[in-house]
Structure 1
Amino acid sequence: MPCTCGNWRRWIRPLVVFLYVIGLVVAIPVCIWELQKMQVGVHTKAWFIAGIFVLMTIPISLWGILQHLVHYTQPELQKPIIRILWMVPIYSVDSWIALKYPDIAIYVDTCRECYEAYVIYNFMIFLLNYLTNRCPNLALVLEAKDQQRHLPPLCCFPPWPMGDVLLFRCKLGVLQYTVVRPVTTIVALICQLTGIYGEGDFNLKNAWTYLVIINNASQLFAMYCLVLFYKVLKEELNPIQPVGKFLCVKMVVFVSFWQAVLIALMVKVGIISENNTWEWKNVKDVATGLQDFVICVEMFLAAIAHHFSFSYKPYVQEAEEGSCFDSFLAMWDVSDIRADISEQVRNVGE
């Protein structure tokens, strides 16, 4: 059968491979040119090594996204999956740029930090959509279950009533991080411009200390609501093996956050000091660069884990219809999120 526009599934994959090879042909000479242009030091070596990991990470992630677009047979499940899969390339490219240009790190990291909240929310939507397809009246299923008490460390609080209340509060608990994280990120940018941010410096006079506490509390509560939701509906969720998917999301979000805190502590106690800044301007840039370098390496491992945990294979059907272009456009449609936020705000107001 000839490769025509109607037979796009036959030529789209070779096209992607071809474009990636062209990208490598362009990117590698640019990297070599950069290395020859300047005296090679630790900073440049770190940037070059991180770039190799980025070049290995991107095709794995984009291939998984493309396969979901090609086999876009269950939009209500695959749309949040595709949004989750975008986390790895966004983290990877963002960290690589920040590693090269530390002066703009706080600005490019804004995208990464906001997107992690978006990913947690989409994971919750993925679970809810799956359950809704299997159990149209999910609230009644919850009401039929035994009362679920809070998990440590919140076990001393009164349990949330089973049914609509539990469902609403778990969803709201995840959604609040989607709002808190962008707000604190904007505050961080303002504080940086006014000179009171003090990234990496645990000092009560710096805004960074308070924002870390707020973000951590909000993030932990969002993850707690996800764990509580899974514990209540474990039996219904088992067919999609949510534990591996949850760990993929949790490890990327939590590890990157706590790495930043650990590196800040290393700066505070003097393990990373002004005596070892290499080509960076100061110890703060060293800490930021170390965090970005480690993320570039970790994203390669995360891409492999996401490829298997969020596989496209369960969605492959013999009779497939639809256009890949339509699937691509649907991926960017955020009307569902806008409607969801409006509904949650209205419920809170009531």
Structure 2
Amino acid sequence: MIQIGTNTIMTLQESIMHNKITGFYKRKGTTATTFRSSVLGRRRGRRQRKVLNLVLTSGIPPSLTPEAIKMHPAQIVWYGSTLSVMITVHFSMKLLAEHVQNWKKPKEQKAIVIIILMAPLYAVDSYVGLINFFGTEAFFTFLDSIKECYEALVIAKFLSLMYSYLNISLSKNIVPDEIKGREIHHSFPMTLFQPHTTHLDHHTLKLLKNWTWQFALIRPACSILMITLQYFEVYPSWVSWTITIILNISVSLALYSLVIFHHVFAKELEPHKPLAKFLCIKGIVFFCFWQGIVLDLLASLGIIRSRYSWLTVERIEEGYQNILVCAEMVFFSVYQLYAYSAAPYKANNNSSPPSDKKSK
């Protein structure tokens, strides 16, 4: 039997006892008013006893009581975000366990594990921001920096994963002959710095790698700078805009190099579902970035506004952003089950695993 809340039962019992006592004293009166009140009291007591008996015998769960149904919106947000984070962590850990149980190609699967952990890290990070809603500006900058620094690492590891699929090792100058000489067509504004058409060789591959890894270095450096300036309360708006422009150029260059790499090796990478893998990363980055832009626009138009002097619009934006991220990571954690499936490694269980020596 499902138990009902203790407070509800005690309230019903106290009300019944109150009606009994008042009914007793009212029966001592002689007027019609006191008699009528006594009758109504007895009827009310009988109804409440029926409700109490129904609750105790049928086992109505506490979640169906009126007190539980009327929850504050903040409670609904908190419960929903908690559930979203739990689902995200569940699916991510499930996929992670499958790769660990079928650990056949360490070089590839190490990169995959780092990428898989992106969704739960984003969800937990945003959830912490919801719990500590009234934290300092430096605290929220620190939370954002964790996500964005990990994003930089994931982008770099994605390129390393593609290199592993193709058995390319720039450190050992291992570049298959069949891929050398392929044409790379750059588009504007990259044509301002590179020829419109270049041929693939060791130098070109190294350049693409550098374009990707530069974001993994610039992002943490900018995060440390922002946190330090905010901690000492020296963070003018022109510094904020300068750092934002630098980061946007840096991440655009990193993503551009991944697109070029996928375009050049689309045929060789097709069995590994590179587009699905890339969209999983790009989707997380895309949603987190552009929904932040949309929230800023809604705040500037006055659609998002604060009704209280102690609550700033920036905090409301941060709250909406964290709620959306918690919900979106549920989708991406499920999508990762397809994009980064452990099935190709399970298929090699009965055979000797391929060697990674060429790809190291």
Aligned ranges for residues 81-120 of structure 1 at < 5 Å?
Answer: 81-102=112-133, 103=135, 104-120=139-155
Are the aligned partners of 2:306 and 2:316 in contact in 1 as well (CA < 8 Å)? no
Tell me the equivalent position of 1:268: 300
SS at match of 1:238: helix
Q: Does 1:128 align with 2:175?
A: no
One-letter amino acid of the structure 2 residue matched with residue 237 of structure 1: L
Alignment of 1:167-182 (within 5 A): 167-182=205-220
> Which shows bigger deviation, 310-319 or 173-182?
310-319
Q: How does 1:41-56 map to 2 (within 5 A)?
A: 41-56=72-87
Distance 1:282 1:45, change over 3 A: farther
Aligned partner of residue 148 in structure 1, secondary structure: strand
User: Residue 218 of structure 1 aligns with which residue?
Assistant: 250
Call closer, same or farther: CA 1:288–1:321 in 2, change over 3 Å. farther
Shift of 1:206: 4.7
Alignment-mate amino acid for residue 210 of structure 2: L
Q: Aligned letter for 2:207? A: R
Please give the per-residue CA displacement for 1:247-287, whole angstroms capped at 9, x wherever unaligned.
Answer: 0011111221222222222222322123378xx72111101
- Return the offset for 1:167: 0.2
Distance in 1, matches of 2:215 and 2:308, equals 37
Per the alignment, residue 308 of structure 1 pairs with 338
User: Is 1:192 the counterpart of 2:230 in the alignment?
Assistant: yes
Using the alignment, how far apart are the partners of 2:314 and 2:351 within structure 1? 52
Question: Structure 1 residues 42, 208: CA separation in 2 closer, same or farther (over 3 Å shift)?
Answer: farther
**C-alpha distance in structure 1 between counterparts of 2:81 and 2:351, whole Å:** 39
> What is the CA distance between 1:151 and its match in structure 2?
2.9
1:18-97 matches, within 5 Å, as: 41-97=72-128
Gaps in structure 2 of 5+ consecutive residues: 1-62, 354-359
Q: C-alpha distance in 2, partners of 1:72/1:227?
A: 28
Count of residues in Structure 1 that have an aligned counterpart in Structure 2:
278
Cα distance, 1:292 vs structure 2:
0.6
Report the Cα distance in structure 1 between the residues aligned to 2:238 and 2:229, rounded to whole angstroms: 9
Aligned residue among 326, 346, 350 for 1:296:
326
Could you tell me which amino acid in structure 2 is paired with residue 186 of structure 1?
I
In structure 1, what residue type is equivalent to 2:178? V
Confirm or deny: 8 A CA contact 1:139 1:167 kept in the other structure: no
Distance in structure 2 (CA, Å) of the matches to 1:124 and 1:179: 15
Give the greater-gyration-radius structure (CA).
Answer: 2
Distance verdict in 2 for CA 1:123–1:261, change over 3 Å: same
- TM-score by length of structure 1 reads 0.73
Deviation per CA, 1:55-111: give whole Å up to 9, x if none.
Answer: 111110000001100000111111100110010110011101111113133223322
User: Take 1:258 and 1:190, find their aligned partners in 2: how far apart are those partners?
Assistant: 26
1:145-294 equivalent positions in 2, closer than 5 A: 145=182, 147-155=183-191, 157-158=194-195, 159-197=197-235, 205-275=237-307, 281-294=311-324
Alpha-carbon distance in structure 2 between the residues aligned to 1:276 and 1:90: 32
Name the CA distance, whole Å, in 2 between partners of 1:248 and 1:105: 25
Q: Which ranges of structure 1 fall in alignment gaps of 5 or more residues?
A: 1-31, 199-204, 323-339, 341-350
How far apart, in 2, do the equivalents of 1:194 and 1:283 lie? 23
Matches of 2:296 and 2:78 in 1, distance apart? Answer: 21
- Structure 1, 259-268 or 302-311: larger mean CA deviation: 259-268
- The match for 2:35 is none
User: 2:168 touches 2:176 (CA, 8 Å); kept in 1?
Assistant: no
Q: What is the TM-score of this pair, normalised by structure 2?
A: 0.71
The one-letter code sitting in structure 2 at the alignment partner of 1:315 is Y
| Alpha-carbon separation, structure 2, partners of 1:63 and 1:320 | 24
Partner residue in 1 for 2:32: none
Identity %: 28
* 1:176 and 1:222 in contact (8 A); partners too: yes
Cα distance, 1:225 vs. partner?
A: 0.3
Q: Distance in 1 between matches of 2:158 and 2:76?
A: 36
